[in-house]
Amino acid sequence: MLDDYGNIQKERMADILNSILTSSEITRGELSSKLNLSPSSIVKYINKLIEIGLVRESGLNKSTGGRRSIFLEFDPEIGVNIALIFNLSNIHGALVNPAGITIYELSIPTTKGISKDQLLEGLFLLIINLKTKAEEIGKRIFGVGLGMGDYMDMEKGISYEYLLARDWQDIHLKELVESRFNLPFFLINDIDAGALGEKFYGRGIKVENFVCIWLSETVGMGMVLNDRIYFGKKGFVGEIGHTNVVPDGAICTCGNRGCLETVATEQFILERCREGITSGVYSDIVNLCDGDKTKIKIEDVIKASNNGDRFVRNIFLEVAGYIGGKLTDIANILNPEVIILRGSIIDGNPFLYENIKRIIRTRSLSVIADTIDIIYTEETSDIRIPGVSSYILMNYFKR
């Protein structure tokens, strides 16, 4: 399908898609003015996007005396993107329509230290299952996108290093996926995908400068600066999880000692809980996991904290100290409008959130503390999934 269009056509349609992503709803006239294109050119390109199934017309704009204009928006009915995320414990995948709504999702379990071949086998199996589901419900697939961590070339679709997998080196993911499934493939850092998800569908809508902090099985930061996602030179930015917070601390997966990821992840929190139970500490989590410490889940720990569990709250106080201290540095360096906290250890966890916020507000410069907005969400949905889908839309015509 992409071969049917010339480079200039692709460039113009890419600009239109990005404008609709940023604006949610926009008229042909507004697009013409914003992109400095003639009304007739806008009509031509919009007709092509409607034909493909990416864009549709929506409600009428309010009349200003002349003919009423029609809004344009992403079409949620015709097609979907396959959006995938590499997590420590699973590969999570979903079918996401162009409006950013997940219509079906599926996960395949993985483990830290999984072999390259096993991880690729799981990735291909998940794509097959999601592709089959899309066919069952009659949806066209526009592209496949994968969000993952560590060293990569996003444009070439090559993952050079992935610390959570064994013998993973110089994996040409784009070539592997496209040759096998005959679908366009896009690679993005998973935390950057989270920032895109917030920018287009979440708490970063119409915010020009914000950072999105991911607190889960790993720790990372995505940045939107001057209303644009910041990828850096090689897409290797925001690695606050691999900055030092405990001199001579535990060894991190990156090979250094005392990184933030060694003291502010799911694994750290769950290990602290297991140690406490083993030593005889009284805590609600004993009942929540039916007395089996191997079955403790982060959801149990957060529930215990929300119920006022003293032991669990002391663990979260320690974690808040590490995270809050690091985010104070981020606030003083970048001076963002908003810090958005996301991920499994912070979603629905007001105690951890309030203590991180308290530390940032008391330790950052007063002019920054007075103007910065620090927010989190009670939701548990993964904002990175629609973020991956938006990255496919942003780059669909730029291949």
Q: How far apart are CA 16 and CA 304, in angstroms?
A: 48
Q: Which of 18-32, 135-149, 228-242 has the highest mean pLDDT?
A: 135-149
Same domain, 90 and 67: no
Residue at which a domain ends, from 14, 49, 74: 74
Give the model's pLDDT for residue 370.
92
Same domain, 359 and 241: yes
Print the SS3 string covering the chain. CHHHCCHHHHHHHHHHHHHHHHHCCEEHHHHHHHHCCCHHHHHHHHHHHHHHCCEEEEEECCCCCCCCCEEEEECCCCEEEEEEEECCCEEEEEEECCCCCEEEEEEEECCCCEEHHHHHHHHHHHHHHHHHHHHHCCCEEEEEEEEECCCEECCCCEEEECCCEECCEEEEHHHHHHHHHCCCEEEEEHHHHHHHHHHHHCCCCCCCCEEEEEECCCEEEEEEECCEECCCCCCCCCCHHHCECCCCCCECCCCCECEHHHCCCHHHHHHHHHHHHHCCCCCCHHHHCCCCHHHCCHHHHHHHHHCCCHHHHHHHHHHHHHHHHHHHHHHHHHCCCEEEEECCCCCCCHHHHHHHHHHHHHHCCHHHHCCCEEECCCCCCCCHHHHHHHHHHHHCCCC
Same domain, 180 and 298: no
Give the model's pLDDT for residue 61.
53
Sign, Cα dihedral of 252, 257, 261, 262: positive
Same domain, 241 and 352: yes
Q: Which CATH number belongs to the domain containing residue 21 in this structure?
A: 1.10.10.10
Q: How far apart are CA 278 and CA 219, in angstroms?
A: 27
The predicted-structure confidence for 70-122, as pLDDT tens digits, reads as follows 888 888 999 999 999 999 889 999 999 999 999 999 999 999 889 999 999 99
Strands 90-96 and 102-109: antiparallel
Q: Are residues 79 and 116 in contact, defined by beta-carbon separation less than 8 angstroms?
A: no
Same domain, 141 and 241: no
Burial group, residue 182, by CB count within 10 angstroms (0-12, 13-18, 19+) = exposed
Phi-psi region of 113 (alpha: psi -120 to 50; beta: other; left: phi over 0): left
The predicted-structure confidence for 347-390, as pLDDT tens digits, reads as follows 999 999 999 999 999 999 999 999 999 999 877 778 999 999 99
Of the candidates 15, 334, 376, which has an alpha carbon nearest to the alpha carbon of residue 214? Answer: 376
Q: Are residues 238 and 192 in contact, defined by beta-carbon separation less than 8 angstroms?
A: yes
**67 pLDDT band (50/70/90 cuts)?**
low
Same domain, 283 and 343: yes
Total number of domains in the chain: 3
| Contacting residues for 67 by C-beta, under 8 A, at least 6 apart | none
CA-CA-CA-CA dihedral for 174, 180, 181, 185, to nearest 10 = 0
Q: Which CATH number belongs to the domain containing residue 163 in this structure?
A: 3.30.420.40
Residue 41, token pair as written in the block: 């050119």
Residue at which a domain ends, from 15, 47, 74: 74
Provide the residue range defining the domain that includes 344: 204-375
Residue at which a domain ends, from 33, 59, 74: 74
The predicted-structure confidence for 176-200, as pLDDT tens digits, reads as follows 999 999 999 999 999 999 999 999 9
Give residue for tokens 């990175």. 384
Same domain, 160 and 41: no
Is the pLDDT at 289 greater than 60? The verdict is yes
Same domain, 233 and 368: yes
**Which of 46-50, 143-147, 234-238 shows the lowest per-residue confidence on average (mean pLDDT)?**
234-238
Give the model's pLDDT for residue 59.
66
Same domain, 9 and 109: no
Same domain, 267 and 356: yes
Same domain, 180 and 234: no
Q: How far apart are CA 81 and CA 53, in angstroms?
A: 12
Same domain, 54 and 168: no
Q: How far apart are CA 48 and CA 171, in angstroms?
A: 35
Q: How far apart are CA 227 and CA 213, in angstroms?
A: 17
